[in-house]
Amino acid sequence: MADGDGLGEATAAAASPPAPAPGLSPPLGWRERLRAGLAGTGASLWFVAGLGLLYALRVPLRLCENLAAVTVFLNSLTPKFYVALTGTSSLISGLIFIFEWWYFHKHGTSFIEQVSVSHLRPLMGGTEGSISEPGSPSSSRESETSRQSLSECKVWRNPLNLFRGAEYRRYTWVTGKEPLTYYDMNLSAQDHQTFFTCDTDFLRPSDTVMQKAWRERNPPARIKAAYQALELNNDCATAYVLLAEEEATTIVDAERLFRQALKAGETIYRRSQQCQHQSPQHEAQLRRDTNVLVYIKRRLAMCARKLGRIREAVKIMRDLMKEFPPLTMLNIHENLLESLLELQAYADVQAVLAKYDDISLPKSAAICYTAALLKTRTVSDKFSPETASRRGLSTAEINAVEAIHRAVEFNPHVPKYLLEMKSLILPPEHILKRGDSEAIAYAFFHLQHWKRIEGALNLLQCTWEGTFHHVSVYPKKELPFFIHFTAGLCSSTAMIALLTHQFPEIMGVFAKAVLGFLCLQPAPSVFEENTQDLKSEALGLSSG
């Protein structure tokens, strides 16, 4: 079957025309070249045609007489008019600026730019040149860049997130404050609905109740719904998961509930495997049951790790990665790395890094800094800044320093937490790659591993500042051009109005110079008389 598929692909490739070389566009025919040339010169032709039409109609339209009338009108203007004009312009531009600012903070884009791109650009014919063909090299480069930057701009679930009931709640008991933000908990609710629900939940009443439970904002309401689901079906695995996460007050209680969830989840998973080919709905149900089973086993491994049964945790994680290799994006290998570091099994850590430190996978602080820690371990106990400056760095020390530099280049926030220059807090349930939240999550679990290796933190302290750079905690958007433009226009017109009101003579000279530059030289007598009248009125008011 594979040979037949390969033969079909080879035949299709032979029948298709040869593809252009990378970086070169396919050759265009004479029609395409002519159309492209006309499109490029169309704007110039329209401009020249418009000028010619104005020149031909200059006599019927009486352009010279109208221009002279405009000149006479401008000559008769007083400084009061300029004050009113600039003041009104400042008010209008200020209102536009306020609206642009409000629209940008609410929708994340400029209203004027959005209207220009959506409505004006199609009328001006500017969309064709800006959109590249799907197979063009530019579009492929853009898609590659977007794929590379996607993992850095996306919010990821923390693979080592704590238990809400058994760990986060302790902080609430001591301080009376919530350890998690509403945004973080809302993201977790979305994850739970994605992992633990599917379109066939209406077929099982307990799953219908749990579907509503994951959407509940109040924790007591979620726990109550979980008990209702267990009353309908004692083998509801997701109900046990919710109780283990949020009601259990100790890790032992959470592990007991997760074991009950595992027993129910394995039964449902085997049942779904037998029916997966019957319909697309059964396939979706199998995916959901697979997610539930993997989540339960992973949390059981984390319970074993927290209770000191580290080898058992490592075995569960290795079995998970072998049984469900497509779920690599869940970052189970980061849990495995932390457990192996606790066992000080550095050879196994190196083997995991060699397998998962791949360019096709999204990088993380755990991978980068663990690789740096392994390189540092070989030289940190004998490293001395004075000796290194006197004799130079050895090959192993250079490798360790380069590994630290690569890690700091990926996430520059981590060293300050490892060196305890910044206070640690409880890690969130979601992190941003290369951000401060990822640094907190990494240092919270891995600081002990750096302290265990003698001299590792000393080497980090001596070398990390050379590669430090500022990476925003969250992706920041630059202010659109029209916000700067309207702000500048509002400020400049307001300043002109104020200067015209305070210094009418000087601004009158300035206005005459501008009009003279525009070839509309005003009669000096009229403007000076108006300026003199305004000045005399002001003096009369002050003397009165």
**Res 477: pLDDT:** 56
Asked whether residue 117 carries a pLDDT value surpassing 70, the answer given is no
**Res 42: pLDDT:** 58
Closest Cα to residue 195, out of 321, 330, 294, 288?
Answer: 288
Residues 230 and 309 in one domain: yes
Asked if the structure places residue 285 within a domain, the reply is yes
Q: Which of 94-103, 124-133, 207-216 has the lowest mean pLDDT?
A: 124-133
Asked if the structure places residue 384 within a domain, the reply is yes
Residues 220 and 266 in one domain: yes
**Res 378: pLDDT:** 87
Highest mean pLDDT among 58-72, 112-126, 240-254, 466-480: 240-254
More confident residue, 194 or 29: 194
**Res 135: pLDDT:** 44
Residues 356 and 470 in one domain: yes
Q: Which of 330, 364, 395 lies at the terminal end of a domain, its last residue?
A: 330
Mean pLDDT confidence for 55-73: 71
More confident residue, 8 or 283: 283
Whole-number Å distance between alpha carbons of 225 and 209 = 6
Helices (DSSP H) in 214-364: which residue ranges? 219-232, 237-246, 251-274, 280-306, 310-323, 332-342, 346-356
Highest mean pLDDT among 312-316, 513-517, 518-522, 539-543: 312-316
Residues 388 and 463 in one domain: yes
Q: Which of 452, 476, 500 lies at the terminal end of a domain, its last residue?
A: 476
Residues 237 and 254 in one domain: yes
Whole-number Å distance between alpha carbons of 224 and 214 = 12
**Distances from the Cα of 9 to the Cαs of 131, 136, 347, 527, in angstroms?**
30, 22, 43, 84
Residues 313 and 171 in one domain: yes
Asked if the structure places residue 197 within a domain, the reply is yes
Closest Cα to residue 20, out of 140, 194, 130, 174?
Answer: 140
CB contact at 8 A, 464 and 404: yes
Asked if the structure places residue 185 within a domain, the reply is yes
State the pLDDT confidence band at 13, using cuts at 50, 70 and 90: very low
Q: Which of 476, 495, 525 lies at the terminal end of a domain, its last residue?
A: 476
Whole-number Å distance between alpha carbons of 432 and 418 = 18
Mean pLDDT score across all residues of the chain: 77
Residues 259 and 385 in one domain: no
State the pLDDT confidence band at 440, using cuts at 50, 70 and 90: very high
Mean pLDDT confidence for 295-306: 94
Mean pLDDT confidence for 6-24: 39
More confident residue, 380 or 444: 444
Residues 174 and 308 in one domain: yes
Percent of the chain with pLDDT over 90: 26
**Res 483: pLDDT:** 77
Asked if the structure places residue 11 within a domain, the reply is no
Whole-number Å distance between alpha carbons of 101 and 484 = 10
State the pLDDT confidence band at 284, using cuts at 50, 70 and 90: confident
Whole-number Å distance between alpha carbons of 297 and 320 = 8
Number of separate domains in the chain: 3
Q: What is the pLDDT of residues 462-511, one digit of tens each?
A: 887 766 555 544 445 567 777 778 788 788 888 887 887 778 777 777 77
Residues 181 and 305 in one domain: yes
Write the CATH number for 250. 1.25.40.10
Domain residues for the domain of 420 are 346-476
CB contact at 8 A, 316 and 301: yes
State the pLDDT confidence band at 312, using cuts at 50, 70 and 90: very high
Q: What is the pLDDT of residues 186-219, one digit of tens each?
A: 889 888 888 888 887 777 888 889 989 988 888 8
Whole-number Å distance between alpha carbons of 377 and 460 = 11
Asked if the structure places residue 125 within a domain, the reply is no
CB contact at 8 A, 372 and 455: no
Q: What is the pLDDT of residues 401-421, one digit of tens each?
A: 888 988 888 888 999 999 999
Token reading at 54: 């104005």
Asked if the structure places residue 214 within a domain, the reply is yes
Highest mean pLDDT among 10-14, 67-71, 288-292, 495-499: 288-292
Residues 374 and 502 in one domain: no
CB contact at 8 A, 54 and 63: yes
**Res 379: pLDDT:** 86
Percent of the chain with pLDDT over 70: 72
Residues 506 and 468 in one domain: no
State the pLDDT confidence band at 373, using cuts at 50, 70 and 90: very high
**Res 138: pLDDT:** 45
Residues 304 and 407 in one domain: no
